[in-house]
Structure formats: structure tokens, C-alpha cells
């Protein structure tokens, strides 16, 4: 991992992730993933284990168009949360996204070790340890 990657932290990692996906920069994406990363999709049969497997899947999907209506970035004690609201999201069979998806990232040493996708904001916040978290007032 490059020294720049090891110095990144917090929300900067999420911004780098979005930028790498947007540009289709697989090298940058690789730097943002630990070798043993596991990505849990919206259903139990959607799991990618290992950097190579995640890159294989993402290689078919990048560059990602960022025509979202809104992004939400949150930092929790040991996790980061990226929420995306868009009418252009994929429509997985049997899952109602209601135009939004939330991904909970667990960073380790400047890269993502675990990514978990959720269709409901409350479930993502709970998984990130933000149970009872309120919106800004």
C-alpha cells in the first residue's frame, strides 16, 4: 500500500472511493481495499471475498456515473457510511431499494477491510454503531 493510502482516514477515504469509481481507476480502487476485503451485498448470496474478486466485479461496472440526487457521508467510531439516493440505482431482484442504498465501510490501515450494503438507512446506521443517531437540528 502506498504511503498516501496509509495516511488517508475518515471521510477522505469515502471521497477517494467515490472518485476512483467515478473515474474507473481500478489501481486507485485496489489501493483502497485490503487484500482480505469482504464485500457483503444486499442479499446473502452476494458476497465478494478478497481484493481480486471485488476488483473483478467492479471492473465490469466502472466507471460509475454519479448522477445521484444526494450523497450522505458519515463517520462512526469504527466505520464509515456512504448513502446514495438516485432513481438510477440498479434494481436487484426481490429487493426494494426505494431509490437509496447505504454502504458501511470498515477501514483498516488506510483501506477498506469490509463493505456491507443496506437498503435501509436505519439498518446501515445500526451496523455502523450509530444506533439512536439523530439528524442535524
Encode pLDDT of 70-109 as tens digits: 889 999 989 999 999 988 777 777 777 788 999 999 999 9
Encode pLDDT of 34-44 as tens digits: 999 999 998 88
Query: How much is the pLDDT for 134?
Result: 65
Query: How much is the pLDDT for 50?
Result: 97
Please tell me what DSSP assigns to residue 133: -
The structure's pTM equals 0.87
Query: How much is the pLDDT for 33?
Result: 97
Which residues are 100's β-sheet partners? 85
CATH topology of domain 3-88+96-125: Nuclear Transport Factor 2; Chain: A, (3.10.450)
Domain boundaries, the chain: 3-88+96-125
Q: In the sheet where 111-118 sits, what is the strand order?
A: 47-49, 33-40, 111-118, 100-108, 80-85, 70-75
Encode pLDDT of 46-65 as tens digits: 899 999 999 998 888 787 77
Binned at pLDDT 50, 70 and 90, residue 127 comes out as very high
Query: How much is the pLDDT for 8?
Result: 58
Query: How much is the pLDDT for 133?
Result: 67
Amino acid at each position: 500500500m502506498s504511503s498516501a493510502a496509509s495516511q488517508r482516514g475518515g471521510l477522505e477515504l469515502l471521497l477517494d472511493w467515490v472518485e476512483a469509481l467515478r473515474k474507473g481507476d481500478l489501481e486507485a480502487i485496489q489501493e483502497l481495499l485490503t487484500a482480505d476485503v469482504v464485500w457483503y451485498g444486499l442479499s446473502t448470496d452476494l458476497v465478494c471475498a478478497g481484493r481480486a474478486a471485488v476488483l473483478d466485479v467492479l471492473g465490469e461496472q466502472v466507471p460509475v456515473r454519479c448522477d445521484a440526487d444526494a450523497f450522505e457521508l458519515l463517520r462512526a467510531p469504527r466505520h464509515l457510511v456512504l448513502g446514495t439516493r438516485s432513481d438510477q440505482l440498479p434494481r436487484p431482484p426481490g429487493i426494494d431499494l426505494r431509490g437509496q442504498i447505504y454502504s458501511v465501510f470498515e477501514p483498516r490501515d488506510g483501506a477498506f477491510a469490509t463493505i456491507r450494503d443496506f437498503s435501509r438507512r436505519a439498518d446501515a446506521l445500526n451496523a455502523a454503531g450509530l444506533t439512536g443517531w439523530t439528524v442535524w437540528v
